[in-house]
A = this chain, B = another copy of it.
Amino acid sequence: MDTQAAVKLLASIAQEARLEIFRLLVQAGPNGLPAGAIADTLAIPASTLSFHLKELVHAGLANQQPQGRFIYYAANYQAMNGLMAFLTENCCQGQACTPDTACCNEKEPS
């Protein structure tokens, strides 16, 4: 993963409607949900939802799968995990990075 790829993933969820859609999909599990159910749950007009779903799919954070008349959307957990790994990559110059070292996992000052 490079910076541009990560920006693409981040931008796809850096928007209120899309973040809500994505979290709904994360919570829905691997089977996902049809677009209409997402629209109903989040009260988003169809064309607006379609625009946002396309963004998520293009970024790679969601997958699309037609099933009969419905199109199911599901979160791509691998892409999400890859993104999170990228964000903390080489954290603190590779120095030990545990709760004790006040680094990446630093706790509230006490």
Contacts and interface: CB of A to CB of B under 8 A. Distances in A.
Interface of A: 3-4, 6-7, 10-11, 13-16, 19-20, 22-23, 26-30, 77-78, 80-81, 84, 87-93, 95, 102-106, 108
A14 B16 contact: no
A93 B29 contact: yes
Nearest to A28: B93
Contact of A87 (B20, B26, B30, B78): B26
B26 A4 contact: no
A93 B28 CA distance: 6
Contact of A7 (B3, B6, B14): B14
Q: Which 6 A-B pairs have the closest CB atoms?
A: A10-B14, A14-B14, A29-B92, A11-B14, A77-B104, A27-B90
A26 B88 contact: yes
